[in-house]
Amino acid sequence: MEQTLSIIKPDAVAKNVVGQILARFENAGLRIAATKKIQLSRTDAEAFYAVHAERPFFGELVEFMISGPVVVTVLEGENAMAKNRELMGATSPKEAAAGTIRADFAESIDANAVHGSDSLENAAVEINFFFAQREIV
């Protein structure tokens, strides 16, 4: 059984589509093992996206991620990491396949509705960033 991390970003939270996005995960056979709504600090966002620190979009990414609350979720199931990425669609909504979360809810590559871990190794690190072991049940 795999676990992966999902973040519903400030744009999707502001649009009031948290329930619709969580339902897509459940309808695809993924289980919510943990979830919470939080406001990231600048330090949180910079640390979470440290791998992108040298990219030209880093500043905007951090500003966007602290612009409002996010919903972080541990998804569990068979092939959870790949399944979540399939449900999300491509990073840019312009390239996201029809019917994916980003095609349906995202506005731009920055305001792209959701984040999902891109490897099992990163999933473990990202889950540990947000959740204590006792919160994952």
- Active-site residue among 115, 123, 127, 130? 115
Candidate segments 14-22, 24-32, 109-117, 124-132, binder of ligand CMP by CB under 6 A: 109-117
Looking at residues 45 to 84 of the shown chain, list those that interact with ligand CMP (rule: CB under 6 A).
52, 57, 61
Q: Which two tokens stand for residue 124?
A: 């473990």
Q: What distance in Å separates the CA atoms of residue 45 and residue 53, rounded to the nearest whole number?
A: 11
Residues 81-100 that bind ligand CMP (CB under 6 A): 91
Binding-site size for ligand CMP (CB under 6 A) equals 8
The CA distance from 97 to 91, in Å, is 11
Helix (H) or strand (E) holding 12: helix 10-14
Q: Which residues contact 21 (CB under 8 A, 6 or more apart)?
A: 8, 12, 101, 105, 113, 114
User: Has 52 been annotated as catalytic?
Assistant: no
Q: Which residues are catalytic?
A: 115
Residues that bind ligand CMP (CB under 6 A): 52, 57, 61, 91, 109-110, 112, 115
